[in-house]
Amino acid sequence: DIQMTQSPSSLSASVGDRVTITCQASQDISNYLNWYQQKPGKAPKLLIYDASNLETGVPSRFSGSGSGTDFTFTISSLQPEDIATYYCQQYDNLPPGGGFTFGPGTKVDIK
């Protein structure tokens, strides 16, 4: 199974700050890496797909990059409404033998 390491597990930043979250896969996953935002009490929401593509309707302050094993998610200017937990998710072929794995999450709050 492919393991996902996500860091940091939590962070506190000021409004307007640049926030960066990293996700590392235990083996090459090409660009099959997606990012989700989950606000308290809500379902997750897709923000970035295929490592760097912004989902329709998502603000442009969100971005993603990377390929292979190392990926980065960035909020260019943190806003109060961005308080949430962010998850990366990888795909490595349909099971059996493959599947989907979520990272452990990064909780973002305002300093």
Partner 1 sequence: EVQLVQSGAEVKKPGESLKISCKGSGYSFTSYWIGWVRQMPGKGLEWMGIIYPGDSDTRYSPSFQGQVTISADKSISTAYLQWSSLKASDTAMYYCARLGGYVPNWFDPWGQGTLVTVSS
**Which positions lie near partner 1, rule CB under 8 A?**
1, 32, 34, 36, 38, 43-46, 49-50, 55, 87, 89, 91, 94-96, 99-105
Which CB atom, from 17 or from 26, has the smaller least distance to partner 1? 26
Nearest distance in Å: CB 18, partner 1: 25
What is the residue type of 90? Answer: Q
Rounded Cα distance, 80 and 93, in Å: 37
How far, in Å, CA of 91 to CA of 101, rounded? Answer: 7
- Residue whose CB is less far from partner 1, 38 or 72: 38
Question: Which CB sits closer to partner 1, 78 or 106?
Answer: 106
**Alpha-carbon distance values, 69 to 16, 26, 28, 33 (Å):** 29, 7, 5, 9
